[in-house]
Chains A and B, each alone.
Chain A
C-alpha cells in the first residue's frame, strides 16, 4: 500500500504543485491520478520514487517513509514507465529490459532469461530481443518500457502517461494488455493520465486532482460517474457521463428473446417487424425487415453477460432494427435484446 499523508510540494518560486495530498493506493490495485495539466499528478507520482522530494508530509510504502530510503535503492524496487518509453537507444531490447536486474547484480544469463520471459509476457515477438529501440514502433517500445519496469518483479509500478504518445488504436490495445497483465500480476499500480476515459477504463480507484494539487475526489470509476463530488469533477468528467456510466452496468440477467431468430433465406413473413437471420450454426447474418423482406440489414452484437450495458446500447444503435444481438464466447447467438428490454434496463440503471 502506498500512503500519502498530507504531502505538499512547494517550489522555491512559491508555486504549490501538490497541496496537502492525503490518500491511499491499496495493494494490488490500480489507482489512477487524473486531472488537467498543472494539477500535480505527475509530481505526486514522482514523489513516490523520489524523482522529486516532497516539501512537507510523508509518503509511506507499506508503512515505511520513502524519504528515509536512498533514492537509487528505492527506485530499483519500484517499476517506472514513462511517456516516450525512455528506452536506452544504444542497448538492445533484451538488455534494456534487463537494466534493473543488471543493476541488482544478477548474472548476465539470469537477467537475460528474465528479460526474454517478460518480452513474451507483454506480448512481444522474441525476435525483437536483439534489435535496437529505433527499430521498433512506438507501441512496441511502450511494451518494452512496461517489460523493463517489471523486470525485477517490483511490487509497485509507477506509470506516467505511458500510453499518451501512441495512436488511439495502439493505445486501446496497450490498455487492454495492461489490464490482462494486472489480472495475472496484481501489482500496486499508480497510473497518471490526463485522459478521463483512460482513467475510468483502467482504474480500480480514480483520484481526480484539481489545479494547485488538491484532491477533488477519490472513488471507484462507477461512483465517480454517478456521484461526482463537485462541479469541477462533474465538468472534468465531461459530457456523456450518463452513457459512460453504462460501462459499469452488467448485461448478465437481461431478458433476451429467442423467438426472433430465423434461418438464412427466410422470406420475412411474420408478425414481428424484424427477424434475425442466422447461419445453421447460429451465427448472426443480418436483420430482415418485414417491409423489405429480400434485404439483409446491419446488426450489432455484444457479449452477453460480459460486455457492459454500454456495449449493448451501442450494438442496438448500429442496427436499423434498434435491437442488439447477444452472442456467447463462441460467437453464437444467445438471443435478442430488444429495444424495449434495453429501455427498461437503462431506466433501472438510471435509478440505481
Chain B
C-alpha cells in the first residue's frame, strides 16, 4: 500500500512531461487513434461483406490469421523499420490488432440477422442501403459494439506494451519502474492501466444502453 501512496501522493508525479496526466493523455491518444483508424477500415468492410454476402470466408480467415500475429513482434519490427521519430510504428500494429474483432463481429452481426427480417425489409420496399442502415445495423448493433469493445480493451492493454519502444503512455511507469527498481511506479502504473481499462468497459456499456434499441436488447420486461 505504501507503494500506492508513494506513487499517487507524490506531487511530482502529477506534473511534467512524464507525469500522470500527460502519460494518461498519451495513452488515450494512441488508443483512440488506433481504434478510430481500425473502425474506419473494419466497419465499412464488415458492413459491405455482411450485406452482400461476398468475400465473407476470405475476411474471416484472414482476420483469424491476423489475430494470431504476435503484436509485440510486429511492434518491434515496425520500430526497427521506421524508427521512433513518429508514433506510426506504434499505431500501425495497434490498428492491425484492432481490426479483426471489429471486422469479424460486424460481418457476423450483419450476416446473422434473421433472413426473414431481411426478406420482410426488402418486401416492404426498402432499397439495399435502407435495408442495411434502417434494419440490419440496428439489429446487429450489439455484436458490432461487442467487437469494438473487444478491440478497445486489447488496444488499451497493448498500448502499455508500446512503452517498451520508448514512446509514451501509461506503460512507461511500469517499464521505467522496472528499469530503476522503483516498484511504487510499477504498481501505480498498473493500477492506472486497470482503471483505464475499466473506464473503457464502462464507456462501452453506456454506449450500448443508449444506442441499442430496447426492442433488440429486450431490456424491457414483457408485460
Kindly state whether residue A132 has any CB partner on chain B within 8 Å: yes
Kindly state whether residue B122 has any CB partner on chain A within 8 Å: yes
The 8 A CB mask of B180-223 against A (1 = contact, 0 = none) is 00000000000000000000000000000000111110101011
In the complex the two chains form, is A86's CB within 8 Å of B126's CB?
Answer: no
With A87-B120, A89-B139, A90-B138 known as contacts, the answer to whether A73 contacts B215 (CB < 8 A) is no
Which of B117, B124, B212 interacts with A103 by CB under 8 Å? B124
Kindly state whether residue B10 has any CB partner on chain A within 8 Å: no
Q: Which of A70-109 contact B (CB under 8 A)?
A: 71-77, 80, 82-92, 99-100, 103
Residues of B within 8 A of A210 (CB): none
User: Who on chain A is nearest to B122 by CB?
Assistant: A51
Give the CA-CA distance A84 to B123 in the complex, in Å: 13
User: Who on chain B is nearest to A91 by CB?
Assistant: B215
In the complex the two chains form, is B121's CB within 8 Å of A100's CB?
Answer: no
Q: How far is the CB of B115 from chain A (nearest CB, A)?
A: 10
With A73-B125, A75-B122, A92-B215 known as contacts, the answer to whether A86 contacts B117 (CB < 8 A) is yes
Residues of A within 8 A of B123 (CB): 49, 51, 75, 80, 82, 86
In the complex the two chains form, is B125's CB within 8 Å of A131's CB?
Answer: no
Residues of B within 8 A of A76 (CB): 124-125
Give the CA-CA distance A73 to B138 in the complex, in Å: 24
In the complex the two chains form, is B222's CB within 8 Å of A103's CB?
Answer: no
Give the CA-CA distance A75 to B215 in the complex, in Å: 26
In the complex the two chains form, is B213's CB within 8 Å of A91's CB?
Answer: yes
Q: How far is the CB of B111 from chain A (nearest CB, A)?
A: 17
Residues of B within 8 A of A132 (CB): 213-215, 218, 220
Q: Which of B95-148 contact A (CB under 8 A)?
A: 114, 116-117, 119-127, 130, 135, 138-139
Residues of A within 8 A of B139 (CB): 88-90
What's the count of A-B pairs with C-beta under 8 Å? 80
Number of residues from A at the complex interface, CB < 8 A = 30
Number of residues from B at the complex interface, CB < 8 A = 25
Q: How far is the CB of B132 from chain A (nearest CB, A)?
A: 13
Q: How far is the CB of B61 from chain A (nearest CB, A)?
A: 27
With A76-B125, A103-B124 known as contacts, the answer to whether A84 contacts B116 (CB < 8 A) is yes
Q: How far is the CB of A253 from chain B (nearest CB, A)?
A: 46
User: Who on chain A is nearest to B141 by CB?
Assistant: A90
Kindly state whether residue A135 has any CB partner on chain B within 8 Å: yes
In the complex the two chains form, is A90's CB within 8 Å of B213's CB?
Answer: yes
In the complex the two chains form, is B124's CB within 8 Å of A99's CB?
Answer: yes
In the complex the two chains form, is B124's CB within 8 Å of A148's CB?
Answer: yes
The 8 A CB mask of A39-59 against B (1 = contact, 0 = none) is 000000000010100000000
Q: How far is the CB of A328 from chain B (nearest CB, A)?
A: 41
In the complex the two chains form, is B120's CB within 8 Å of A133's CB?
Answer: no
Give the CA-CA distance A86 to B127 in the complex, in Å: 17
User: Who on chain A is nearest to B221 by CB?
Assistant: A135
Which of B119, B121, B127, B220 interacts with A88 by CB under 8 Å? B121
Of the candidates A71, A73, A88, A99, the one having the most CB atoms from chain B within 10 angstroms of its own CB is: A88
Q: How far is the CB of A130 from chain B (nearest CB, A)?
A: 10
Give the CA-CA distance A83 to B124 in the complex, in Å: 14
Q: How far is the CB of A136 from chain B (nearest CB, A)?
A: 9
Give the CA-CA distance A161 to B158 in the complex, in Å: 53
Give the CA-CA distance A72 to B122 in the complex, in Å: 7
User: Who on chain A is nearest to B130 by CB?
Assistant: A103
Q: Which of A129-176 contact B (CB under 8 A)?
A: 131-135, 148
User: Who on chain A is nearest to B127 by CB?
Assistant: A72
Residues of A within 8 A of B126 (CB): 72, 103
Give the CA-CA distance A60 to B18 in the complex, in Å: 76
Give the CA-CA distance A124 to B212 in the complex, in Å: 27
Which of A86, A103, A135 interacts with B116 by CB under 8 Å? A86
Residues of A within 8 A of B119 (CB): 51, 82, 86
Q: Which 7 A-B pairs have the closest CB atoms?
A: A86-B120, A132-B215, A76-B125, A90-B213, A75-B125, A80-B123, A90-B138
4 extra interface residue pairs, beta carbon distance < 8 Å, beyond A51-B122, A131-B223, A132-B218: A72-B125, A72-B127, A74-B125, A88-B215
